């Protein structure tokens, strides 16, 4: 029996990077996955995973839009009557030292990384509650804990994800719903590729296991928390960083 057999999962930001890694691992473990992304690239990602035997649907969803989020949720509920797993993975950076940071840099990151967490979770949670089962896992970051030059906006949202997680788990545990976060370290993706080369080289040098993380590494980390077997783990932030930060 596969780990996620019969589970319906939403993965936000699944078009590429870590989200794509999560979609692949979840599909291999038997889940039916709904990939939410603003990028049309999501269509191709879903097509490739389907060709490899996965069961995955692309829905073009901007997670900052309440109406788009609710419409996509309603579609899944009409079709499958339940949502077992919500992965709040989509996120962005707008790095700039704080004195140079514009209100737009600040607001964009808060809006996508934090405000959207409200919208997606509000939309899906009532269905988990009525089913008496759910797994909600959201993307924090190592930099929400250790801080990073140029990332006051980003670090603030990622620390907030862990706080949100600790509080929500207390409210919904009685409905069979666990709420956790994953704090990735330095992982190969468009987001990390966009950083200056000297930052990338430095970050990799600081990883005790001696390599950058992969989207699949993260897929397995999310899988651990998404599994039915992890029902006694709730409210935690799981650090997956190759030892780059003491937990
Ligand atoms: N890559 C890393 O080293 C790293 C480290 C720590 C945490 N993280 C976190 O992991 C998550 C994934 O990061 P990644 O490196 O794969 O980034 P990425 O930029 O490669 O992928 C992010 C995805 O989110 C999607 N997205 C952005 N805004 C959206 C919106 N409004 N609606 C729907 N989708 C939207 C993008 O289109 C993209 O497909 C993020 O939350 C990020 O903060 C990444």
The pLDDT value given to residue 106? 98
Mean pLDDT for 161-178 is 98
- Closest atom of ligand 1 to 62 CA is 32
CA of 247 to the centre of ligand 1 (A): 23
Nearest CA to ligand 1 atom 40: 91
| Section 161-177 average pLDDT | 98
User: Does residue 205 form part of some domain?
Assistant: no
- Give residue 16's pLDDT: 98
Stretch 38-47: mean pLDDT, rounded? 98
- Among 221, 216, 212, 214, smallest CA distance to 240 is for 221
Residue nearest atom 43 in ligand 1 by C-alpha distance: 91
Q: Are 109 and 101 in contact (CB under 8 A)?
A: no
Is the residue at 210 inside a domain? no
Does the active-site annotation cover 154?
yes
Average pLDDT of 73-99?
A: 98
Atom in ligand 1 nearest the alpha carbon of residue 93: 43
List, in sequence order, the alpha helices (H) in the chain: 17-28, 41-51, 66-80, 103-110, 116-131, 143-146, 152-172, 190-193, 197-205, 215-226
122 lies in a domain?
A: yes
pLDDT of residue 50 exceeding 90, the answer is yes
Would residue 35 count as lying in a domain?
yes
Phi and psi at residue 34, to the nearest 5°:
-105, 115
Residue 44 lies in a domain: yes
246 CA to middle of ligand 1, Å? 24
Q: Is the pLDDT of residue 21 over 70?
A: yes
Reply yes or no on whether the pLDDT at 246 is more than 90: no
Instruction: Determine the distance separating the centroid of ligand 1 and the alpha carbon of 229, expressed in angstroms.
Output: 27
How confident is the model at residue 201, as a pLDDT? Answer: 93
- Cβ burial of 1 (10 Å; 0-12, 13-18, 19+) is exposed
Predicted TM-score (pTM) of the model is 0.98
More confident residue, 195 or 93: 93
- Using most ligand atoms within 8 A of CB, pick from 42, 190, 191 the residue to mutate for ligand 1: 191
Give the active site residue among 58, 154, 202, 220. 154
What are the tens digits of pLDDT across the range 120-153?
Answer: 999 999 999 999 999 999 999 999 999 999 999 9
Q: Does residue 245 register a pLDDT over 90? A: no
203 lies in a domain?
A: no
* Count of domains for the chain: 1
pLDDT tens-digit readout, 60-80: 999 999 999 999 999 999 999
CATH number, residue 155: 3.40.50.720
Mutate which of 189, 193, 222, 242 for ligand 1? The one with the most ligand atoms within 8 Å of its CB, which is 189
Average pLDDT over every residue of 169-178: 98
In the chain, the largest separation of any two C-alpha atoms, in whole Å, equals: 54
Q: What is the mean pLDDT of the chain?
A: 97
- From 10, 17, 21, 151, the mutation candidate for ligand 1 (largest count of ligand atoms within 8 A of CB) is 17
Residue at 209 is within a domain = no
In a domain, 193, yes or no: no
Q: Give residue 1 CA to ligand 1 midpoint distance, Å.
A: 31
Distance 189 CA to ligand 1 centre (A): 8
* Pocket, ligand 1, Cβ cutoff 6 A: 12-13, 15-19, 36-39, 61-64, 89-92, 112, 139, 141-142, 184, 186-187, 189-192
Q: In the predicted model, is pLDDT for residue 247 greater than 60?
A: no
- Mean pLDDT on 42-57: 98
Domain that holds residue 108: 8-187+215-239
């Amino acid at each position: 029996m596969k780990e996620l057999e019969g589970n319906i999962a939403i993965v936000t930001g699944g078009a590429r990077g870590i989200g794509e890694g999560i979609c692949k691992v979840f599909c291999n473990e038997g889940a039916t996955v709904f990939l939410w992304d603003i990028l049309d690239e999501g269509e191709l990602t879903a097509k490739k995973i389907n060709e490899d035997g996965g069961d995955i649907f692309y829905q073009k969803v901007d997670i900052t839009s309440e109406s788009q989020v609710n419409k996509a949720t309603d579609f899944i509920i009409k079709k499958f009557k339940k949502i077992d797993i919500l992965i709040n993975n989509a996120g962005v950076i707008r790095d700039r030292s704080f004195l140079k940071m514009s209100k737009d840099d600040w607001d964009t990151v808060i809006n996508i990384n934090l405000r959207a967490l409200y919208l997606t979770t509000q939309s899906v949670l009532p269905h988990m509650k009525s089913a008496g089962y759910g797994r909600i896992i959201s993307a924090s970051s190592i930099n929400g804990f250790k801080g990073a030059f140029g990332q006051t906006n980003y670090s603030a949202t990622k620390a907030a994800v862990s706080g949100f997680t600790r509080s929500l788990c207390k409210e919904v545990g009685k409905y069979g719903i666990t709420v956790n976060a994953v704090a990735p370290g330095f992982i190969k993706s468009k987001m990390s590729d966009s950083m200056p080369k000297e930052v990338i080289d430095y970050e990799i040098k600081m990883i005790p296991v001696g390599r950058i993380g992969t989207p699949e590494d993260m897929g397995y980390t999310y899988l651990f928390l998404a599994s039915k077997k992890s029902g006694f783990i709730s409210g935690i932030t799981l650090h997956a960083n190759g030892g780059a930060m003491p937990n």
